[in-house]
Amino acid sequence: MMLLLLLAIIFFPLLFRRWLTTVKGPKNLPPGPPGWPIGGNLFQFILQRQPFTYLLRDLRKIYGPIFTMQMGQKTFVILTDAKIIHEALVQRGSIFASRPDESPTRLIFSFNKCGINSAKYGPLWRTLRKNLATEMVGSARVKQCAWVRKWALENHMGRLKESAQEKGYVEVISQCRLTICSILICLCFGAKLSEEWVKNIDSVLKEVLLMTIPKLPDFLPALAPLVARGQLRRATALRRKQMDILGPLVQARKVFVESGENPKSSSLDMESPIGAAYVDSLFSLELPGRPDGLCEEALVTLCSELINGGTDTSATIIEWALLHLVLDQEAQQRLYKEIVEVVGENGVVNEDDLEQMPFLNAIIKETTRRHPPGHLLLSHAATEDTVLGGYNIPKDANIEIYTPWVTQDPALWTDPEEFRPERFLPGGEGYEVDWTGNRGVRMIPFGAGRRICPAWSLGTLHVGFLLARMVHAFRWVPIPGSPPDPTEKFSFTMLMKNPLKAIILPRS
Ligand code: HEM
């Protein structure tokens, strides 16, 4: 801290000049908390020692639907209100569909913005996103890859039983992360990996997520060369680790696609036919302005973003949903009865059965309403200087969409703090709500508009499938003397601070 203050004093003239041009330049920014002359609101944020989203929750009460924070040299515009979010993401979606410039650390992992989530709004993003839509989440591909989920779910159910026998209880999030991560890896590379291997990949990718959460030097690029060297060294080492663990999968799949045979040097068995794994589509993808196609680094980035994007989010939803089912045994029994009506007591739930389970779907929706996995969407940026809510929005500002207020606003939801899946059943206030936000924003767990999660239906399928199988096979009850604790903790998604542990009682 002392070092930073010293540096700030030394660099005062430089920063002050920049501040005058970047902060004072475009007049009529949305209101916001008064900042210090250097650092703006950055040091206030640091001194508060609480996650950024909690600070936004407090500032929303003072500054309302749209406000500005000056975070070092970066201007953040925060949107918190349903109407203004809908205007930005849907009604004027093409203007707000870009992403801001990235820090040097993030650029290492995005391989210079060569990912769907990081690419600026433009031809590269469009091509990559369209490819994902057909090659991974299109209905034909989802059907073709149903065996992947079947295989992973069989392992999952076996592991739950083992854990219950060994420890007497099941820790929900770690089991679900492992299963979802195995599914996504298999969808990307076409190979079934051992549990240990998946755990290693999951832990490296989790490190990547935590490494890319913005740190102090990211807000003060002028000081970054002096203070960020250590951070960049760590990021480069972690990127190498990521390449070492995923690169061999890319190489093995390439050999398989080119020769039709498993590489002799690898212990991997390619199970998906050629063309069915996501990475297959990337080998030959033609990209605007890139005549050489995608190199191995780009392929690792593109596969990592799917594994990262789909694991934490889905596992977090399952954990919160099960928390409520453990606490409310009546709701759990109702769900169990619904599943039995579709597949019978001794049948097996298949993914096609989920459509006939409205209460299950209502539980998923209510969970994402009450516990949106990410309190902020990914950062957006405008493609040009523009106006929103009567204020100027500069092109280079980070636009942060804060979603919890949308689902906690008593003007939009009755007793918003209550967990009531019935809201989403016929006649309920949420029944007609469009959770993709297109027809109006009442909840946006996947974002809305051009940048909406392209895999939201696949993510929901994973959540629903795991929940249905887990509740069909077992009754989930609290551990006597150790009731679940619903306190939240921020770690990329909003998790349970103390992971949910429950006893499972076989139904038959
Ligand atoms: C149910 C679980 C999921 C939730 C709640 C979720 C949520 C989100 C959210 C909030 C965004 C940001 C939208 C924005 O910036 O406005 C996003 C983007 C994205 N998600 Fe998901 N996601 C889920 C599952 C998945 C899965 C399974 C995958 C991949 C297989 C995935 C891949 C992506 C990608 C690539 C983007 C970037 C889209 C773009 O920038 O155009 N997500 N997701």
| 66 and 78 Cβ atoms separated by less than 8 Å | yes
CA of 169 to the centre of ligand 1 (A): 31
Structure tokens at 260: 């039709």
Structure tokens at 487: 């306190």
Which atom of ligand 1 has the smallest separation from the CA of 132?
35
CA of 471 to the centre of ligand 1 (A): 26
This model's pTM is above 0.85? yes
Report the C-alpha gap between 125 and 357 in whole angstroms.
Answer: 35
pLDDT per residue of the chain (508 residues) written in tens, 0 to 9:
444 444 444 444 344 444 444 444 457 999 999 988 778 888 888 888 888 899 999 999 999 999 999 998 899 999 999 999 999 999 999 999 999 999 999 999 999 999 999 999 999 999 999 999 999 999 999 999 999 999 999 999 999 999 999 999 999 999 999 999 999 999 999 999 999 999 999 999 999 999 998 877 778 777 767 667 788 899 999 999 999 999 999 999 999 999 988 877 677 889 999 999 999 999 999 998 888 899 999 999 999 999 999 999 999 999 999 999 999 999 999 999 999 999 999 999 999 999 999 999 999 999 999 999 999 999 999 999 999 999 999 999 999 999 999 999 999 999 999 999 999 999 999 999 999 999 999 999 999 999 999 999 999 999 999 999 999 999 999 999 999 999 999 887 899 999 999 999 999 7
Structure tokens at 296: 């191995």
The DSSP-derived string for 374-392 is: -SB-S-BB-SS-EEETTEE
Binding-site residue numbers are 453
| 364 and 463 Cβ atoms separated by less than 8 Å | yes
Neighbours of 261 (CB within 10 A): 9
CA of 267 to the centre of ligand 1 (A): 32
* Nearest CA, atom 41, ligand 1: 451
CA 504 to chain CA centroid, nearest Å = 28
* Nearest CA, atom 15, ligand 1: 378
Domain boundaries, the chain: 2-506
CA of 451 to the centre of ligand 1 (A): 9
Residue linked to tokens 């992947």 = 148
What is the topology classification, in CATH, of domain 2-506?
Cytochrome p450 (1.10.630)
* Nearest CA, atom 24, ligand 1: 310
CA of 306 to the centre of ligand 1 (A): 8
- Ligand 1 binding pocket (C-beta < 6 A) is 116-117, 129, 184, 305-306, 309-310, 313-314, 317, 373-374, 377-378, 445-447, 451-456, 458-460, 463
Binding-site residue numbers for heme are 453
Which atom of ligand 1 has the smallest separation from the CA of 463?
1
